[in-house]
Copies of this chain bind each other. A is one copy, B any other.
Amino acid sequence: MDVAVHGVGTSHFGRQPDRDLVALAWDAVREAFADAAVSAVDAVWVGTVFGPPGVAQRVLRAMGITGIPVVTVENACASGTTAFAEAHEAVRTGRYGRVLALGLEQLSTAFDGAIHPEPTDPEGRAGLALPALYAMAAARYLHLGTATPEQLAAVSVKNHAHALHNDRAQYSGRYTVEEVLASRMIADPLTLLQCCPTSDGAAAAVLGPAARDARHVTVRGVAMRSGQPWDHRSPHVWGHDIVRDTAADALAAAGLAAATDVDVAEVHDAFTIGEIVTTEALGLVPAGEGGKAATEGVTALGGAHPVNPSGGLLSRGHPLGATGLAQLAEIVWQLRGEAGARQVDRARLGLVETMGGGVSGLDGNACVITVLEAP
């Protein structure tokens, strides 16, 4: 059965320690239900990374969503899009009619600064928190001359500017490359404005069978990979190959020849280098030109391949379990022509890429890529 996104919703994103997961989820689910014009669903998949056991049932119970199958999934930063992939599969196979995918996370009350690595990981033992892991990729790009510090910074400038048009974003601003490079160093060469912030938020999507409906965004293809070992002989940096391989799966499922066929993409820019590596791995830009694309406006609103019109993780924020569904909501709004001042002209095909993790020598714990089509 063909599957469509019937509605989406999100909370505001930001540090919201005075709100709880119920309040955040309420905002996202209420909006998604209204958007889909439904008042109930047949099953729920919830994505969260640090939500405590039972958090899904607790949140749904508080919203009066009870008595239906609920499955909580964890797949690192791709937990939200893993929930989406599982919900999609349930509709595709006719297991359930209408399904809610919900992502939620409250990091502001859980962590002070970077998320701690697990001490049992090789990376954790080496003190490699995620900023440091991404910094190694950035350092390699700089060392090989594949990118310059200014190109890294240009990603931050672009995404913060995009977020000026997104009133749910955690941060936004008209920064210069110099300002980005002059911000506090977090993990050399990544400065503060090149790192995603600590965020709280929720995002939701209602999925159901595709029908002729002016508001149904069709799911053309979903692919997930996980637990892929990092091939240290690869010429590419960490995180490249799993995105490349998952993209190949998703594009094949969608019947597309190349990622350049899509009109707009939301990708996992937890750090500036992440967007550069990902745009190359997806094939949105040629190998080695991710940085140049940011500097030259190729990936900006108005460019040939707009990336992260929402502001991305860098600016909208990165509440882990919610992120994938926040990306998805943005693409749905884009494909329905409802993105306001950040609308990509005539967007017919959109792509969502989420990549999570970085433990135990893995090339990403999981990567989920979805291709969506306008009504």
Residues on A close to B: CB < 8 A?
20, 44, 49-50, 52-54, 56-58, 60-62, 65-76, 82, 86, 89-90, 93, 95, 118, 120-121, 224-229, 357, 359-362, 365-366
Contact = CB atoms under 8 A, between A and B. Distances in A.
B362 A57 contact: yes
Interface centre among A56, A69, A366 (most CB of B within 10 A): A69
Nearest to A68: B227
Contacts of A54: 74, 76, 118, 121, 357, 359-360, 365
In the complex, the 3 A-B pairs of residues with the closest C-beta atoms, listed nearest first: A93-B93, A70-B226, A72-B74
9 contacts: A54-B74, A54-B360, A58-B120, A66-B228, A67-B229, A70-B226, A72-B75, A73-B73, A89-B95
A173 to B, nearest CB: 31
A67 B360 contact: no
Given A57-B359, A66-B362, A71-B75, 18 more contacts: A20-B120, A44-B227, A49-B53, A54-B365, A56-B227, A57-B357, A57-B360, A57-B366, A58-B118, A58-B121, A61-B227, A61-B361, A66-B229, A67-B229, A69-B225, A70-B226, A71-B226, A89-B95
Given A71-B82, A82-B71, A89-B95, A57 B365 contact: yes
A276 to B, nearest CB: 24
Contacts of A49: 53
A265 to B, nearest CB: 22
Given A54-B118, A54-B359, A54-B365, A70 B60 contact: no
Given A73-B73, A362-B66, A61 B229 contact: yes
Contacts of A365: 54, 57, 70
Contacts of A228: 66-67
A169 to B, nearest CB: 25
Contacts of A82: 71
A49 B61 CA distance: 19
A18 to B, nearest CB: 14
A52 B118 CA distance: 8
Contacts of A224: 69
A81 to B, nearest CB: 12
A90 B121 CA distance: 30
A61 B362 contact: yes
Interface centre among A73, A90, A361 (most CB of B within 10 A): A73
Interface centre among A225, A227, A362 (most CB of B within 10 A): A227
A220 to B, nearest CB: 18
